[in-house]
Amino acid sequence: MFEFLLEATDGPARAGTLTLPHGAVETPAFMPVGTHGAVRGLHPVEVRRAGAQIILGNTYHLHLRPGEEVVRALGGLHRFTTWDRPMLTDSGGFQVFSLEGLRKISEAGVEFVSHIDGSARTITPESSMDIQWALSADIAMAFDHVVPGQAPWELAEEGMGRTLRWLDRCRIRHQELLATGAGGQTQTLWPIVQGGTHQDLRRRSLEGILTRGPWTGIAIGGLSVGEPKPVMHRVLEELAPALPARMPRYLMGVGFPDDLLEGIARGVDVFDCVAATRNGRHGSAWTSAGKVNIRAAKLRLDDGPLDPACDCETCSRFSRAYLRHLFMAEEMLGLRLVSIHNIRFLIRLGEQARTEIKAGTFDAWRRDWLARYDNRGDA
Q: Which residues bind RNA (CB under 7 A)?
A: 33, 35, 39-41, 56, 58, 61, 90-91, 93-95, 97-99, 101-102, 115, 141, 144, 146, 192, 219, 221-222, 224-225, 229, 252-256, 259, 272-275, 277-279, 281-284, 291, 293, 295-298, 300, 328, 330, 332, 335, 376-378
Residue 38 or residue 364: which is nearer to RNA going by CB? Answer: 38
Least spacing, CB of residue 207 vs RNA, in Å: 19
Least spacing, CB of residue 360 vs RNA, in Å: 27
Q: Which of 90, 130, 144, 269 is catalytic?
A: 90
Catalytic residue at 307? no
Residue 72 or residue 325: which is nearer to RNA going by CB? Answer: 325
Least spacing, CB of residue 373 vs RNA, in Å: 13
Say if CB 314 and CB 340 are below 8 A apart.
Answer: yes
Residue 180 or residue 277: which is nearer to RNA going by CB? Answer: 277
Least spacing, CB of residue 40 vs RNA, in Å: 4
Catalytic residue at 90? yes
CA 310 to chain centre: 22
Residue 95 or residue 187: which is nearer to RNA going by CB? Answer: 95
- The Cα-based distances of 138 to 99, 114, 159, 262, 323 in angstroms read 26, 27, 26, 27, 36
Say if CB 306 and CB 320 are below 8 A apart.
Answer: yes
Q: Which of 10, 138, 259, 272 is catalytic?
A: 272
Least spacing, CB of residue 206 vs RNA, in Å: 15
H runs (alpha helix) in the chain: 44-49, 59-64, 68-73, 76-81, 93-98, 125-135, 153-180, 199-211, 229-239, 257-264, 275-281, 320-328, 332-359, 362-372
Least spacing, CB of residue 358 vs RNA, in Å: 25
Phi and psi based region of residue 50 (left: phi greater than 0; alpha: psi -120 to 50; beta: remaining): alpha
Partnered with residue 5 across adjacent β-strands are 17
**What is the C-alpha to C-alpha distance for residues 50 and 69, in angstroms, rounded to an integer?**
31
Residue 58 or residue 127: which is nearer to RNA going by CB? Answer: 58
Task: Write 213-217 long-range contacts (CB < 8 A, 24+).
Answer: 215/189, 215/190, 215/191, 215/247, 216/2, 216/3, 216/4, 216/188, 216/190, 216/247, 216/248, 217/2, 217/4, 217/18, 217/139, 217/188, 217/190, 217/247, 217/248, 217/249, 217/250, 217/270
Residue 141 or residue 236: which is nearer to RNA going by CB? Answer: 141
Residues belonging to the active site: 90, 272
